[in-house]
């Protein structure tokens, strides 16, 4: 006879937090949202990789590209570049993120003195950089002969056939720094000489790196930015259980900090085989998350297989129709509560803490706080990030309202059959598990994330805690009735805006 759960599966909407004692220390400015991203052992001083805010962006075509990854890393979170593209294109996106801010940046725009203004303009159009190194061989490490920036030419007053040697800033007029210069020393030189870019050269005057003024300014504006040891933004990348033998090495070589198996259902032999390949080839050096699961058994399977974090959630995404088409899944709150309990059980027994990611079901900002209180270490968001300027899709005007396109990886538009693959020979999407839709445009990521996290911090203060571990330990939650859900919104009044419209 089939097994029946005695309790219904519940969503975040069915819970509320009960306030705790708020002391003088419980103010939003003192709340720390730092949280582990990958597993660590009891007794280690700190997790190998931590997020500064508990938010990552979903592995989706309409959400996570290199632009989103840079914007979210600046705020302290991480994007997982979508894997439903060619290996080369995904690796290229990872490289763009890793080269965007590195303190010492290898030059990505290089020409020779014999090239022309037309070449400069074409290069700027291609990669967006206004600083072009002029080297002997047009290579990133060639002998430095000069520099071209937007201040060196005026398109309206010059022929595009003008050789670069006629308008570049020549080497003898450039301020440079030697190879042994530290980042602090480089920034001091930039400020002392009022430079936008400082070339770093070796003893033979070959270009090694650039240090940019804007990188220093960005760091001051974004103190929580998520960076690796080389001061580069950190980025994740999605993989699948089909072409991992080719995709993983390319993403590792490109500099991806964390990988994540992108699958609608993770309690499978295919995920274990993927993790086994990574462990055999790289040991524990390459970090990889797995999922998605909705119960204790699924979590323990992936934790024992070697996953660095486990994603929770099936069918809870706003564009997901897996529950409708296949009849599998579980209410996000119930799934998260059970998996978090299994995570704690596994930690007690093994001394290994495997972070849990709540993926799906987040509709309102307070749902983030609920997810953290229920045991999630961080949340993965799709619709939330798809609304912002930095998502890959265009801003459109539909019926008088600005919107952005948002589609599921299981939709016909994405055709991400690998995400739903069950090991068959047909490389096709047999039926849809996602829809193609619009979401209301919301503006910039920075402004919206700041507002959402302020709500999270304020709620944590109401609960009497100032960090996520204390929230997980001390939170008190209550199931709410359908009537109390109605009571929680405005009721029995006429909104002034509505009255004024009539």
Is the model more confident about 489 or about 275?
Answer: 275
Confidence (pLDDT) at 483: 82
Q: Sorting pLDDT into bands at 50, 70 and 90, what band is 499?
A: low
User: Does the pLDDT value for residue 366 go beyond 70?
Assistant: yes
The stretch 250-258 carries a mean pLDDT of 98
Whole-angstrom distance, CA of residue 14 vs CA of residue 454? 23
Average pLDDT for the chain: 91
Establish whether 320 is a catalytic residue. Answer: yes
Establish whether 10 is a catalytic residue. Answer: no
The stretch 221-249 carries a mean pLDDT of 93
The stretch 322-335 carries a mean pLDDT of 88
Element (H, E) at 75: helix 66-75
User: Does the pLDDT value for residue 498 go beyond 80?
Assistant: no
The stretch 216-239 carries a mean pLDDT of 88
* Contact criterion met (CB below 8 Å) for 76 and 32: no
Q: Please state the pTM of the whole predicted model.
A: 0.81
User: Does the pLDDT value for residue 143 go beyond 90?
Assistant: yes
* Contact criterion met (CB below 8 Å) for 331 and 9: yes
Confidence (pLDDT) at 207: 96
The stretch 119-145 carries a mean pLDDT of 91
The stretch 166-173 carries a mean pLDDT of 95
Q: Sorting pLDDT into bands at 50, 70 and 90, what band is 502?
A: very low
The DSSP-derived string for 408-440 is -TTSTTT--GGGG--S-S--S--S-SB-EEEEE
Confidence (pLDDT) at 29: 95
Element (H, E) at 280: helix 269-282
Confidence (pLDDT) at 488: 83
Q: Sorting pLDDT into bands at 50, 70 and 90, what band is 419?
A: low
User: Does the pLDDT value for residue 397 go beyond 70?
Assistant: yes
Q: Sorting pLDDT into bands at 50, 70 and 90, what band is 427?
A: low
Catalytic residue among 26, 260, 320, 463: 320
Catalytic residue among 387, 419, 461, 463: 419
Element (H, E) at 396: strand 395-398
104 to 49, 107, 210, 327, 357: CA distances (angstroms): 22, 9, 6, 52, 33
* Chain segment 180-202, per-residue pLDDT in tens: 998 889 989 999 999 999 999 99
């Amino acid at each position: 006879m089939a097994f029946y759960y005695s309790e219904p599966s519940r969503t975040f909407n069915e819970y509320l937090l009960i306030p705790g004692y708020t002391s003088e220390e419980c103010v939003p400015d003192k709340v720390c949202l730092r949280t582990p991203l990958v597993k660590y052992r009891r007794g280690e001083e700190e997790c190998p990789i931590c997020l500064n805010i508990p938010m990552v962006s979903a592995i989706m075509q309409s959400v996570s590209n290199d632009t989103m990854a840079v914007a979210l890393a600046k705020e302290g979170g991480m994007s997982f570049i979508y894997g439903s593209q060619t290996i080369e294109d995904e690796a290229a996106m990872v490289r763009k993120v890793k080269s965007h801010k590195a303190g010492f940046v290898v030059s990505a725009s290089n020409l020779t003195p014999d090239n022309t203004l037309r070449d400069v303009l074409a290069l700027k159009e291609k990669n967006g950089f206004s600083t072009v190194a002029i080297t002997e061989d047009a290579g990133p490490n060639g002998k430095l002969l000069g520099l071209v920036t937007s201040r060196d030419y005026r398109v309206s007053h010059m022929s595009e056939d003008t050789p670069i040697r006629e308008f570049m800033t020549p080497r003898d007029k450039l301020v440079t720094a030697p190879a042994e210069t530290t980042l602090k020393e480089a920034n001091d030189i930039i400020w002392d000489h009022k430079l936008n870019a400082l070339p770093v050269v070796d003893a033979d005057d070959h270009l090694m790196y650039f240090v940019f003024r804007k990188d220093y300014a960005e760091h001051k504006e974004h103190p929580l930015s998520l960076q690796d040891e080389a001061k580069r933004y950190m980025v994740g990348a999605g993989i699948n259980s089909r072409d991992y033998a080719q995709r993983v090495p390319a993403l590792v070589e490109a500099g991806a900090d964390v990988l994540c198996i992108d699958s609608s259902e993770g309690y499978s032999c295919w995920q274990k085989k993927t993790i086994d390949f990574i462990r055999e080839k790289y040991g524990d050096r390459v970090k990889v998350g797995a999922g998605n699961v909705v119960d204790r058994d699924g979590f323990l399977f992936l934790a024992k297989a070697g996953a660095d974090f486990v994603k929770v959630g099936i069918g809870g995404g706003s564009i997901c129709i897996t529950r409708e088409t296949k009849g599998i899944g579980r209410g996000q709150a119930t799934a998260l509560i059970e998996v978090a309990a299994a995570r704690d059980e596994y930690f007690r027994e093994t001394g290994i803490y495997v972070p849990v990611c709540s993926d799906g079901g987040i509709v309102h900002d307070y749902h983030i706080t609920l997810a953290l209180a229920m045991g999630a270490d961080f949340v993965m968001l799709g619709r939330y990030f798809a609304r912002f300027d930095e998502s890959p899709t265009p801003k459109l005007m539909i019926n008088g309202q600005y919107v952005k396109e948002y589609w599921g990886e299981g939709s016909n538009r994405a055709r991400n059959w690998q995400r739903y693959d069950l090991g068959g020979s047909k490389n096709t999407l047999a039926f849809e598990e996602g829809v193609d839709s619009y979401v209301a445009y919301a503006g910039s990521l920075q402004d919206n994330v700041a507002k959402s996290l302020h709500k999270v911090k304020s709620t944590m203060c109401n609960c009497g805690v100032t960090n996520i571990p204390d929230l997980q330990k001390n939170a008190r939650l209550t199931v709410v009735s359908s009537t109390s859900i109605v009571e929680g919104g405005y009721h029995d009044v006429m909104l002034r805006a509505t009255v004024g419209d009539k």
